[in-house]
Structure 1
Amino acid sequence: MREYKELYIGGSWVAPETERRIEVISPHSEQLVGRTPEATTEDVDRAVEAAWHAFDHGDWPNTAPEDRLAALRRFADAYNARQTELAELFSTEMGSPLWFSQVGQVGATSMALAEFLNIAESFPWEERRTGSFGGEVVVRREPVGVVGIITPWNVPHFVTMAKLVPALLAGCTVVLKPPPEAPLSALALAEIVAEAGLPEGVVSVVPAGREVGEHLVTHPGVDKIAFTGSTAAGRRIAALCGQDLRRVTLELGGKSAAMILDDADLDQTVQQLQMASLLNSGQACIAQTRILASRKRYDEVVDALAAMVGGLSVGDPMNVENYIGPMVAKRQQERVRDYIGIGTAEGARLVVGGSEMPAGLDTGWYVRPTVFADVDNDMRIAREEIFGPVLTVIPYDDEADAVRIANDSEYGLAGSVWTSDVEHGVDVARRVRTGTLGINQYLMDFTAPFGGFKASGIGREFGPEGIETYVEYKSIALPIG
């Protein structure tokens, strides 16, 4: 069992304000696997004070960008040295299948970190422009200030890195509030921060629940909030930040559509959808869970998806052969099972899966991978984010109808088009109102901005745009002539 007794505040391991503890229960065995302090509002106050002092009186904001980059390279080296350990920790802590912990939890995090460091090498922190009246204007990108980062439990380090690294590269100081479902990996990350030797006060890590997170959001010492989580929580955070005109970035929910055109290679499409739709046991905001198939190929698509999903191995996440692991918590298992019942009650046809425990499993928060056919886009299972291994197959009449269905959602985070004509697929993608799309695949590209339209969020992460969101612009006009 892994146990932490201290919080990481202001660059030091310190005793928490209370004896409150977060107990981490294995989603597979339902046994205790770890324990950490549970931060209070007083702990957050200490962390914000340390971050504010480091920003206003420390060297970090005024350190040369190349020196901040060098510090983050040390951080990257320390992170990469612990990849195997961290992958196993994710599978133990929140039940991510080991194959995904290796590839999607740790591998993708390392890749995203490396890409940010590459982008920072040529990022234009200061430039000069010819002014309107013949003089010059110096345009500076300066750090936004103290950043409060609030992350979810499904891909904790990946989501953290999308915020932490660009904030630090920009010269900001950070208070990270990870979720109570993933406190062990958060404090392991704090160990890596300490090993990298970042200056005192630049990073603090305070695992806690929603009330403490709201305290961080409304803290007068915080200049910006960066949040990933549910749309409902995002709306609350946006309202609170709006009261104080606090900067905010929100990466929220999704209900992404995979549009299978009639000329798609179905075998390759279904093979790729296994990853695109069911990564991390379906606990992913980018999961392609609405499968749009034309009526002329509808039965063929349903049968192919059912064969793929029905053949997936479900079980112990520490076994790399198992593609699907447990849900992160019992409440999440119950939520997904409830949606399976809702789909049946709405009249959708259950093709494979269901609400029973997978065969051979007596413990753990498991859900059978499930496919629904004969789904109308107005059904709840087609409109609401389930966050589990449940796919809905929706028929369309023609290509225009497919685009209409894809756009008929409050969300707009991700999507995909599957076709043998790539350029035509790009043309179709241009008509879909969503922040990212893939043609014959769905993978995030860390050189490009990621974020959502509509209720899927505000702002962008990754690419140069991911650094821009942590800066304020300052214009200095030089004398004319």
Structure 2
Amino acid sequence: MGDVLAGLPTDRLFIDGDWVTGRPADRFETHDPATGRLLAEVAGADESDVDAAVDAARRAFERGPWARMMPTDRANILWRIGELIEQHGAEIAELETRDQGAPVEDKKAFDVANAAAHFRYYAGWCTKLDGQTLAVSVPDVTYETRRIPVGVCALITPWNVPLMMAAWKLGPALAAGNTVVLKPAEQAPLSTLRLAQLCEEAGLPTGVLNVLTGGPVVGKALVRHPGVDKVSFTGSVEVGRDIHRVASDTFKRLSLELGGKAPSVIAPDADIDTVVRANLASGLINAGQTCAAYTRFYVHSTVVDEFGSKMAEAAQHIRLGNGLDASTEMGPLVSQEHLDRVDGYVRKGISEGATLLTGGARAGGDLSEGFFYEPTIFTDVKDDMAIVRDEIFGPVLSILSFDDIDDVVARANDSRYGLNAAVWTRDLTFAKRVSEGIRAGAVYINSGPLQDPAAPWGGMRSSGIGREMGREGINAYTEVKGIWTSFA
């Protein structure tokens, strides 16, 4: 623990290129979810710190070199950030595992690698922010468009994959020439502080990146701040709704990714053994604490019993443990508060009449001091139950039965969410009808929830507004400016 925390300025805020000491009264604690033990006391920002960070970002945007820097020079800095993330990958992965809980091997293979890939991908976009010359029906006039940065961006990231989410937002924001105030979730802020150090080492100019740690008061102050031009938030529907309402007062640009309740449709011809393994992995990744997790399984009535029994058996063999142990397959939930929330949904599922196939309790024994919850699977589930309707954000999976394609599409769409979905079949007609019928930002056919920096990500309905990654990610952090030139 001492090694990865050594030199990490947990008691500081990063404002205008300096690590500034926060007020002792605003400090908060972050704990190791595998043990419940204190990891660090972390500086908490107040409204005066928000003002200072936004002012620094504004000065850097309007007077600093970043937005006016040669595109290749911006690209080199972003590429260097990606390199540094990769070089320090083992350290960052361990730091994030201690702070958030997921297995360190998963952090290395996915979170760290994905974060580095995003900075490299968007480094390439620095030289491609071109516009168009368009034909207009006005004599002796030319018209061209340019993509220009939005300005000062407030980026608010969640606790489940903090480093990766920071990279998803920082990459395109910085590539486009914006300046940033970044606020990580208070439950797992440490990897973001390390990222700020690496950005500084890579040569990011003063004031371009500012990092404020703290609770909801910091996020709220950023959202309503008149000096912020854009807010990008990943988190709950309820908080996203509040952000949307408050940001409308100052017409801020918004990107909101607000979670999901992904349906996975299993056809009668699917290879059940393969599908069980893939869906269990997709449902329990990060202990179910991911918006892309497959959590409601619509299984054809001819194979639903086989699917349920095999999934329950496989879930009972999932190895729970400290994420630093290489043999661990599923780590803890992030906090006691979140564990209580997940367990509350399990109790509600039982009270509403669902049948518990396996799990349904906090893990005991050697794991009792951490926030571990058993992989939990329900069957005999009805569409109107809370465990089907709400995003639980934990290792709780529901199995439902279907017979008709049109019926299962309608039921899959009967949700306030629309982030992603899956279809499992060898029948191309079935795959086409279901994938085209489901209303979601991404549909995976015979696959877990894959992601790539080039592939846009985001949802429909209450799953959010806008897209991250790919060209759409760049568009979210730029404005289109028209230039009219008269030769008359």
Task: State TM-score, norm by structure 1.
Answer: 0.96
Q: CA deviation at 1:120?
A: 4.3
2:259 equivalent in structure 1: 253
Q: In 2, distance between residues paired with 1:77 and 1:185?
A: 16
1:124-203 alignment, distance < 5 Å: 124-133=129-138, 135-203=141-209
Matched, 1:333 2:333: no
Q: CA deviation at 1:306?
A: 0.9
1:54 equivalent in structure 2: 60
Q: Tell me how many residue pairs correspond in the alignment.
A: 480
Q: In 1, distance between residues paired with 2:124 and 2:308?
A: 43
1:226 equivalent in structure 2: 232
1:475 equivalent in structure 2: 482
Q: In 2, distance between residues paired with 1:424 and 1:117?
A: 40
Matched, 1:448 2:455: yes
Matched, 1:293 2:319: no
Q: Alignment partner for residue 385 of structure 2, among 361, 364, 379?
A: 379
Any unmatched runs of 5+ in structure 1?
A: none
Identical aligned pairs, as a percentage?
39
Matched, 1:89 2:89: no
Q: For the aligned residues, what is the CA RMSD?
A: 1.6
The one-letter amino acid of 1:338's match is G
The one-letter amino acid of 1:407's match is N
Q: CA deviation at 1:275?
A: 2.6
The one-letter amino acid of 2:138's match is F
1:99·1:323 contact (CA, 8 Å) conserved in 2?
Answer: no
2:34·2:367 contact (CA, 8 Å) conserved in 1?
Answer: no
Q: CA deviation at 1:426?
A: 3.8
Q: In 2, distance between residues paired with 1:275 and 1:84?
A: 23
Q: In 1, distance between residues paired with 2:136 and 2:69?
A: 28
Q: CA deviation at 1:114?
A: 2.8
The one-letter amino acid of 1:466's match is G
Q: CA deviation at 1:359?
A: 5.1
The one-letter amino acid of 2:411's match is I
Q: CA deviation at 1:422?
A: 4.8
The one-letter amino acid of 2:467's match is R
Q: CA deviation at 1:24?
A: 1.5
Q: In 2, distance between residues paired with 1:287 and 1:204?
A: 31
The one-letter amino acid of 2:464's match is G
Q: CA deviation at 1:423?
A: 6.4
Q: In 1, distance between residues paired with 2:403 and 2:330?
A: 33
Q: Alignment partner for residue 287 of structure 2, among 281, 289, 293?
A: 281
2:419·2:458 contact (CA, 8 Å) conserved in 1?
Answer: yes
Q: In 2, distance between residues paired with 1:466 and 1:426?
A: 27
Secondary structure in structure 1 of the residue aligned to 2:375:
strand
Q: 1:372-413: CA deviations, max 9, x gaps?
A: 001111100000010000100011121111111110000001
1:395 equivalent in structure 2: 401
**Residue 272 and residue 344 in structure 1: after superposition, are their counterparts in 2 closer, same or farther (change >3 A)?**
same
The one-letter amino acid of 1:247's match is R
The one-letter amino acid of 2:338's match is Q
2:33·2:332 contact (CA, 8 Å) conserved in 1?
Answer: yes
Any unmatched runs of 5+ in structure 2?
A: none
Q: In 1, distance between residues paired with 2:112 and 2:402?
A: 38
1:35·1:184 contact (CA, 8 Å) conserved in 2?
Answer: no
Task: State TM-score, norm by structure 2.
Answer: 0.95
4+ residue runs of structure 1 moved beyond 4 angstroms?
Answer: none
Q: CA deviation at 1:336?
A: 0.7
**Residue 424 and residue 446 in structure 1: after superposition, are their counterparts in 2 closer, same or farther (change >3 A)?**
farther
Deviates more, 1:126-135 or 1:211-220: 126-135
Secondary structure in structure 1 of the residue aligned to 2:298:
strand
Q: Alignment partner for residue 27 of structure 2, among 21, 39, 61?
A: 21
**Residue 426 and residue 100 in structure 1: after superposition, are their counterparts in 2 closer, same or farther (change >3 A)?**
farther
